[in-house]
Amino acid sequence: MSYNPLNTKTGKLIIFSAPSGAGKTTLVNHLLKQHEDKLSFSISATTRSPRENEIDGKNYYFINKETFKKKIEENLFIEYEEVYTNTYYGTLKSEVERIWALGKTVLFDIDVIGGLHLKSLFKKNALAIFVAPPNLSALKERLEGRGTDSSKKVEERLAKAEIEMTYANKFDVIIENNDLETACREAEALLLNFIK
């Protein structure tokens, strides 16, 4: 039996975790575009500032630390983490309930610890996918190429990536994101098999 921290009947969840820059957002967006009738993205709350192309209520709920802490006290999160120093991210119970009420599978882009936490809560109702970059230098290139983080932040993300890579084998499956098209095809096959 899996422990369900929510008030609803458990639906399905697909979790994408990886070091920052490995390509989870790219894969998640691909799946959402192809299968919007079956899937919906779990919009996390975060205390980080929005990037130039990000929209509040679409990519994240951007909230300040005080509001985030209030939500913790009110027990509104399924899970949350201080993913980077002083920067919090969390999954709201209301997001998952909203998506299941639509009869859809919830898609997560979440850090490695948060992903394993959700897997431990929802067990066989959850498919936990680890997205692996070819190597750390490719990861550095991708983070620099994305151009959304300062060089200090890129260094912090790379340092964390080395630790995150050691968790890969704890996931249900690993997708090696070398060639993007191949990785997208693999992700789609896993999705269709899991929700059938």
Q: What angle do CA 129, 131, 132 make, to 5 degrees?
A: 135
The site for ligand 5GP (CB under 6 A) is made up of 20, 44, 48, 79, 81, 83, 89-91, 109-111, 114
Q: 58-71 burial string, b = 16+ CB within 10 Å, else e?
A: ebbbbbeeeebeeb
Interface residue with ligand ADP among 24, 30, 71, 104 (CB under 6 A) is 24
Write the DSSP symbol of residue 51.
Answer: P
Residue 47 has phi, psi (to 5 degrees) of -95, 0
Query: Which tokens sit at 94?
Result: 């209301």
Listed ranges 20-28, 84-92, 93-101, 113-121: which one lies at the site for ligand ADP (CB under 6 A): 20-28
For the chain, how big is the Rg over CA atoms in Å? 16
Task: Label residue 25 exposed, middle or buried (CB < 10 Å: 0-12, 13-18, 19+).
Answer: middle
Listed ranges 24-32, 66-74, 115-123, 165-173: which one lies at the site for ligand ADP (CB under 6 A): 24-32
Listed ranges 14-22, 72-80, 84-92, 115-123: which one lies at the site for ligand ADP (CB under 6 A): 14-22
Would you say 106 or 110 has its CB closer to ligand ADP?
Answer: 110
* 51 near ligand ADP, rule: CB under 6 A: no
Interface residue with ligand ADP among 18, 39, 45, 154 (CB under 6 A) is 18
Q: Which residue is nearest to ligand 5GP (CB)?
A: 114
Residue 178 has phi, psi (to 5 degrees) of -95, -70
Binding site partner of 11, from ligand ADP, ligand 5GP, none, Cβ cut-off 5-8 A by kind: none
Binding site partner of 114, from ligand ADP, ligand 5GP, none, Cβ cut-off 5-8 A by kind: ligand 5GP
Query: Which tokens sit at 8?
Result: 């609803």
From CA 27, how far away is CA 131, in angstroms rounded? 9
Listed ranges 33-41, 43-51, 120-128, 175-183: which one lies at the site for ligand ADP (CB under 6 A): 175-183
> Which positions touch ligand ADP (CB under 6 A)?
18, 20-26, 142, 145-146, 177, 180, 183
